[in-house]
Amino acid sequence: MTINKSLASSSLAEVIDRILDKGVVVDAFIRVALVGIELIAIEIRAVVASVETYLKYAEAVGLTTDPAAAAA
């Protein structure tokens, strides 16, 4: 029995397309403390996605509002 190994290479365009289609969230929290006293706290959250993907997930968790309801 032989095992065939294939190396599937992805182009940069395919990788970017997949990231925009699925979305990526980078969440970081940095804290600098000295002798138990917090000096600096930095919280970073970055979302990389297409507008369509963002709106789809934002609507699912209730972050978007209906523009017609807001105007009324």
**Mind listing the pLDDT tens digit for each residue in 11-23?**
888 888 887 888 8
Query: How many other CB atoms sit within 10 Å of the CB of residue 58?
Result: 13
Could you tell me the pLDDT band of residue 32, with boundaries at 50, 70 and 90?
very high
Q: Are 54 and 23 in contact (CB under 8 A)?
A: yes
Q: Is the pLDDT of residue 72 over 80?
A: no
Higher pLDDT, residue 54 or 40: 40
